[in-house]
Structure 1
Amino acid sequence: MTTDIHTLFDEDAIALRVASLAEEIAEGQTNDLLVVAVLKGSFIFAADLVRAMHRAGLEPEMEFIHLSSYGAGTESSDSIRILRDVESDVNGRDIILVDDILESGRTLAFARERLINRGARSVKIAALLDKPERRKAAISADYVGFACPDKFVVGYGMDMGHAWRQLPYIGYVVASDEA
């Protein structure tokens, strides 16, 4: 069996949408903004987004939270593990929680609740991809890059079994039998 990757969103489309999201976030936002990237999948999106925020006139601080609900599989589980927590004091801060994909919503709901319980003034969510048909938690993103079809996606930081994070585009996985 071979695995093929078909392009869903190319580099140019991603760059344009990330710049547009940064402009949306910058409207009415103060410079006391903390961006919290959910590792590992969002690292490329988050890096591009904060650079675009800088070009849009914001100077956000950057933090990371590493949560795991997938392991090496392709389906999210009900169990969320904290592998690395936010180190900064979030009390009274406006936060943009950045993730690669809003699918079941469990991980982002967990992270948002954790930040609110630690005193964040507000927690908004920026998701590169949104798969609303997979939603299990009552949560939505404030900023969405693209609506995503119900396919397993890789690239631009997202992986399958730790492979294909490095792709500069977002593709979906198609398994086919070798002839």
Structure 2
Amino acid sequence: MSNLTLQQAVAQADLLVDRPTLDAAIGRIADAIARDYQGEVPVYLTIMHGALPFSGQLALELGARGQDLQFDYLHATRYRGATTGGELVWKHRPATALFGRRVLLVDDILDEGYTLQGVRQWCLEQGATDVRIAALTIKKHDRCVPGVRADYPGVEVEDRYVFGFGMDVNELYRGAPAIYAMKD
């Protein structure tokens, strides 16, 4: 599939979640975060590359609700362009000191949770007082790492290989404005 253009890939895929549904989910997540962090400025860590579209839209929704954030990012991956995960590899750690701070991790998908588990643990080791997770997409299956969940979940999707809205197939198709699954 990765030799297709974005238009061809979308035409050959199943639409799982359309843009209006994603926009509504991001609004609900922003409402919950703004309530939980009222009067505080959390460290807002975007997990690259996949969370970039979701994180940007969520940040604007939070700003519209009067919630300020201290932006930073990290790049930790288990996939490195592959379709199956391996060991967690750090490509960039946040520059912002996390000691004594509340941290909000923003990611595109919570699948099994190994990456988020490793990142959350690292944040706590850096002295973060609280680490919460906002995930746009939650995969429905029973393979999640125990104790890893999204505090601010977006939409649930089937246990299929998904792409779009930041999620990729071999580093492509992240810009699709909805969530799709490759046909079986």
Q: Cα distance 1:81–1:126, how it changes in 2: closer, same or farther (>3 A)?
A: same
Matches within 5 A, 1:21-170: 21-29=29-37, 30-77=39-86, 79-133=87-141, 134-170=143-179
Q: Which digits, 9 at most, give the CA deviation of each residue in 1:21-44, with x for residues without a partner?
A: 001101131332111011111000
Paired letter, 1:118: Q
Query: Contact between 1:90 and 1:118, CA under 8 Å: does it hold in 2?
Result: yes
**What's the % identity of the aligned pairs?**
27
Instruction: Answer yes or no: is the 8 Å Cα contact 1:39–1:65 preserved in 2.
Output: yes
- Report the alpha carbon displacement of residue 136 of structure 1 after superposing the two structures with TM: 3.4
TM-score, normalised to structure 1, is 0.92
Paired AA for residue 162 in structure 1? E
- 159-168 vs 1-10, greater mean Cα deviation: 1-10
Q: Is the 8 A contact 1:105 1:138 kept in 2?
A: no
Stretches of structure 2 that go unaligned for 5 or more consecutive residues are: none
Contact preservation (8 Å) 1:104, 1:137: no
When normalised by structure 2's length, the TM-score is: 0.89
Q: How many residues align?
A: 174
The runs of 4+ residues in structure 1 deviating greater than 6 Å are: none
C-alpha separation in 2, matches of 1:136 and 1:90: 24
CA distance in 1 between partners of 2:140 and 2:19 (Å): 23
Which structure's residues are more often strand, by fraction? Answer: 1
Return the offset for 1:166: 0.8
CA deviations over 1:39-62 (Å, ceiling 9, x no partner): 111000000111110011101111
Is the CA contact (8 Å cut-off) linking 1:155 and 1:169 kept in structure 2?
yes
Q: Which amino acid aligns with 2:136?
A: L
Specify the alignment match of 2:15 in structure 1. Answer: 7
